[in-house]
Amino acid sequence: MIEYLIRRLLFLIPVLLIVSIVAYMVIELPPGDYLTTHIMRLRAAGTHVAEDEIARLTRMFGLDKPPHIRYFLWIWKIVRYGDLGLSFQWNKPVTEVIGERLALTMTISIITLLFSWTIGILIGIYSATHQYSIFDYSFTFLGFIGVSIPSYLLALVIMYFVYSRFGLAVTGLFSPAYADAPWSIHKVLDLLSHIWLPVVIIGTGGTAGIARIMRGTLLDELRKQYVITARAKGLPERRLIFKYPVRIAINPLISSISWLLPSIISGETITSIVLNLPTCGPVLFRALMTQDEYLAGSFILILSSLAIIGALIADLVLAWIDPRIRYEKMEG
Amino acid sequence: MEFEEKAINSTEEKEEKIYLASQWQLIWWKFKRHRLAMVAFFVLIVFYFIAICCEFISPTDPYQRSQFIYAPPQKIRFWDSKSGFSLRPFVYGYKIERDPITFENIYKEDVTAKYKIYFFVRGFEYKLFGLFPTNIHLFGVKDGYIFLFGTDQLGRDMFSRIMYGTRISLSVGLVGVAISFILGLILGGLSGYMGGNIDNIIQRIIDVLISLPTIPLWLAFAAAVPQDWSPLKVYFITTIILSIFGWTTLARTIRGKLLSMREEDFVMAARLCGASTSRIILRHMLPGFASYIIVSLTLAIPNMILGETALSYLGVGLRPPVISWGVLLQDAQDVRTIGLHPWMLYPCIFVVLAVLMFNFLGDGLRDAADPYAR
């Protein structure tokens, strides 16, 4: 187990390196930079910008050095000081801009993950034990639709229905009274009363996927002989199903985190733009639009790393629970 | 007695037919049994027909503005209170009133203005398939106007715009998948056939790409596309951005199949006969897993469509004057707009329908892909 763990952790290093290069490409790719735009805007507004002031700013942001040097400087600052650079647009360190929003993104992602799992597994169990019943068919059909509707379109449609029924705009995560208030128990409660909607919207696709996998594996498991033996011995049906087949069928689902988590983070990004949630999505979008390069790059870096580390944890948990996988992976 | 013999004969014939059938015939037979997939197949044929001749199906020029701003969809009617039932459908015109407070147009049906709908009407000029200049349209009105899905903020016909959007949105899927296919075939083929370190490196790259959240990355790359590029350039760069993350599953499928097939006897036989590597792959191995490739391709198309829609919706993918479903949805961002003018959400229905149909089709194809499996 420890050998497996070390190998996986070592593998993480090249992966994160690739991710950081991708994120850096995001920073470097757009033609021009924020500083030029900023100075042009200042000049257009009639403010006099002295040449040495420009030179000072250029040096401060490291824009006078070649790209690859800037990459190493960027990485070095992150690794050494946890400094992600400066957001031009907010005129604040990136870490300050990102902090609370990242926490909210993670909260929503984790709750969505749990939601998808719970509902997906329950539906999967029901569908498998009542195969070809009306509910099984309707769940399967709804599942197909759930997989086919992207979260942001679902958000749009729900926004429309709530607006046309109740005249309310379902945006944001907090009531106006709590939006800028410091954190308190009441603010947490307020958050909880708003968070369910984005969770349902983002989680629908994943839930449908989980239910489909759960149904398939559980059906395979229910056909096995030990189930027949247990049934012949007179074990109550409920205990029979939950004691062994369900537990075995849940195992492969743990590895589903490796695709579920990236898709949840993806869905969260775009849904939060549509619903204007105070999470990473809208800020990332605005940063990309205004070429606030360090902010955008940091978001890409952090969101991607989150997905990768989440997948790694899932793999480790799976290896810990299921020794078969542990050995298979060590040999292979 | 005679009857029994006949029965035996017919089952034997049936079996013989199965033995003699080619792989593709078996796949087709199995696919036909999947009802939903068959339905999806025909719906998609209709969709692509619309994509090919969207000018013919649109009654109004999608770029033509009119005085009717945010007009609601007209209902197709067969019944008139004056003249009673008529077999020829018609629509009522609009009566515009102005809201005294918001100054917005309020549309009422004008029962006096009755516009009959005819098939094969002459309308705006276009070139069918980009070749034959004509002005005949599938349906339309001879005088007056027809807005089956209402109009947008410039008074343009939503129905025609959605039909035009079908062309771009569905072709993005095909072009994107074609690019992913080439990437997947080359990299998956290399990985599966060469093995060793090359295989290892390619597999690790795929691992990384699969575990990345796609939408933030798509957004980042699409936002870097210069604003002044021509629509065609933007179209291709968008599909390329979508395919960068789309080829991985396909490469995995191809690699897996190549690996399992490399050890088969017929490959050994071909090698002993002195066939070249490329001949072994293309002539002997490719037909064996072509059906799986088709399944992966079918299931990859909806992702491309959704990706394009998401990017265009946010304004970083395709941009007006190009019309795609995502571009049309750009106008439906504001809650108040869609609350007052819900027909602006109609492109949603088409997106979801197309994706759903591709998923059904892919599901049916997956079951049929291996006709020898039970």
More confident residue, B353 or B363: B353
B374: confidence class by pLDDT, cuts 50, 70, 90: very low
CATH no. for residue A182? 1.10.3720.10
The reported pLDDT for the residue numbered A119 is 92
Greater confidence (B20 vs B223) lies with: B223
Domain count, chain B: 2
Give pLDDT, residue B317.
80
Can you tell me the distance from the alpha carbon of B145 to that of B116, in angstroms, rounded to the nearest whole number? 10
DSSP three-state, residue B26: helix
Nearest Cα neighbor of A18 from B211, B219, B242 is B211
The answer to whether residue B43 sits within a structural domain is: no
Question: For residue B1, what pLDDT band results from cuts at 50, 70 and 90?
Answer: very low
A98 located within any domain: yes
- Does residue B267 belong to any structural domain of this protein? yes
Q: Is residue A227 part of a domain?
A: yes
- Asked if residue B234 belongs to a domain, the reply is yes
Q: Which residue has the higher pLDDT, B90 or A177?
A: B90
CA distance A8 to chain B (A): 12
Rounded CA gap, B22 and B15, in Å? Answer: 13
How many structural domains comprise chain A?
1
* CB contact at 8 A, A95 and A104: no
User: CA nearest B89: which of B146, B137, B155?
Assistant: B146
Residue A285 falls within a domain, yes or no? no
Rounded (10°) CA dihedral B127, B130, B132, B133: 20
Please count the residues of chain B. Answer: 374
Q: Other C-beta atoms within 10 Å of A149: how many?
A: 22
End-to-end CA distance of chain A: 14
In 10 A of CB B313, how many CB atoms? Answer: 28
Residue A80 within a domain: no
Q: Give the list of residues 6+ apart from residue A287 with CB closer than 8 angstroms, or none.
A: A87, A89, A293, A295, A296, A299
Q: Which of A59-68, B144-153, B341-350 has the highest mean pLDDT?
A: B341-350
Note whether residue B35 is domain-resident. no
Closest Cβ–Cβ partner in A30, A164, A304 for B224: A30
Host domain of residue A162: 94-278
CA–CA distance, A267 with A273 (Å, rounded to integer) = 10
Question: Residues B105-125: what's their mean pLDDT?
Answer: 78
Same domain, B128 and B207: no
Contact between residue A174 and residue A100 where contact means Cβ atoms under 8 Å apart: no
How close A234 comes to chain B (CA, Å)?
A: 32
In a domain, A298, yes or no: no
Residue by residue, what is the 3-state secondary structure of A149-211?
CCHHHHHHHHHHHHHHHHCCCCCCCCCCCCCCCCCCHHHHHHHHHHHHHHHHHHHHHHHHHHH
SS3 A303: helix
User: Are both B181 and B319 inside the same structural domain?
Assistant: yes
Q: In chain A, helix, strand, coil percent, each to 5?
A: 80, 0, 20
CB-based contact, B333 to chain A, within 8 Å: yes
pLDDT for the residue A123: 92
In the block, residue with structure tokens 């040999």? A331
Identify the closest residue of chain B to A280 by CA–CA distance. Answer: B216
- Where are any strands of DSSP class E within chain A? 86-87, 92-93
Tell me if B23 is assigned to some domain: no
The answer to whether residues B139 and B225 belong to one domain is no
- Among B155, B180, B201, which residue terminates a domain? B155
- Token pair for B77: 């009617």
C-alpha span between A306 and A183 (Å, rounded): 24
Is residue B251 within 8 Å of B206, Cβ to Cβ? yes
- What residues of B are in contact with residue A284 (Cβ under 8 Å)? 216, 219
Cβ atoms of A193 and A211 within 8 Å: the answer is: no
Model pLDDT, residue B230: 82
Interface check for B219 against chain A (CB to CB < 8 A): the answer is yes
Of A292 and B44, the structure prediction assigns the larger pLDDT to: B44
DSSP 8-state class, residue B71: P
Residues B128 and B166 in one domain: no
Listed by number, the residues of chain A in 284-323 with a beta carbon closer than 8 Å to a beta carbon of chain B are 284-285, 288-289, 296, 299-300, 303-304, 307-308, 311
**Structural domain ending residue among the three candidates B117, B135, B155:** B155
pLDDT in tens, chain A (332 residues): 777 788 878 888 888 888 888 888 877 776 666 667 677 777 777 777 777 777 777 776 666 677 778 788 778 888 777 777 777 777 778 788 888 788 888 888 889 988 998 999 999 999 888 888 888 888 888 888 888 888 888 888 888 888 877 766 666 677 766 666 677 777 777 777 778 888 888 888 888 888 888 888 888 888 888 888 988 998 888 888 888 888 888 877 877 777 788 888 888 888 888 888 888 888 888 888 877 777 888 888 888 888 888 888 887 887 777 776 666 555 44
Kindly determine whether residue A14 and residue B204, on different chains, have CB atoms separated by under 8 Å: yes
Mean pLDDT of chain B: 80
Closest CA to B252 of B309, B196, B190, B197: B190
Structural domain for B107, as ranges: 64-155
What pLDDT, on a 0 to 100 scale, did the predictor assign at position A289? 81
Report the residue count for chain A: 332
Span B278-299, pLDDT tens digits: 888 778 887 777 777 888 888 8
Q: pTM of the predicted model, to two decimals?
A: 0.82
Which residue is it, tokens 């071909």?
B270
Cα–Cα distance between B192 and B188 in angstroms, integer?
A: 6
B182 plus B126 within the same structural domain: no
**Of the partner residues A11, A262, A296, the one whose CB lies closest to the CB of residue B213:** A262
* Residue B141 confidence (pLDDT): 79
Do the domain assignments include residue A35?
no
Residues B228 and B359 occupy one common structural domain: yes
Nearby residues of A322 by Cβ (< 8 Å), 6 or more positions away: A251
CB pairs under 8 A between A and B: 127
Residue B95 forms part of a structural domain: yes
Backbone angles phi, psi at A61, to 5 degrees: -90, 0
Do residues B194 and A2 lie in contact, with contact meaning Cβ atoms separated by under 8 Å? no
For residues B233 and B150, state if they share a domain: no
Question: B231 and B329 in one domain?
Answer: yes
Instruction: From B129, B155, B181, give the residue that closes a domain.
Output: B155
Which letter, b or e, does each residue of B191-221 get, where b requires 16 or more Cβ atoms within 10 Å of its Cβ? Answer: bbbeeeeebeebeebbbbbbbbbbbbbbbbb
Tokens of A35: 């500083």
User: If you search the block for the tokens 């647009």, which residue do you land on?
Assistant: A89
* CA–CA gap between residue B150 and residue B156 (Å, rounded): 8
Any idea what DSSP says for residue B281? I
Mean pLDDT, residues B63-90 taken together: 78
B306 and B253 inside one domain: yes
**Do B146 and B77 share a domain, yes or no?**
yes
From the list A97, A86, A89, A205, the residue with the least C-alpha distance to A146 is A205
- Residue A332's pLDDT is what? 42
Q: Is residue A196 part of a domain?
A: yes
**Pair (B219, B362) in one structural domain:** yes
Q: How far apart are the first and last CA of chain B?
A: 33
CATH number of B182's domain: 1.10.3720.10
- Please check whether residues B95 and B149 belong to one and the same domain: yes
Round the CA-based radius of gyration of chain B to a whole number and report it: 26
Q: Which residues of A touch B214 (CB under 8 A)?
A: 262-263, 266
B18 part of contact set with chain A, CB < 8 Å: no
Cα dihedral B132, B133, B137, B140, rounded to 10, equals 180
B47, part of any domain:
no
Would B350 be classed as within a structural domain? yes
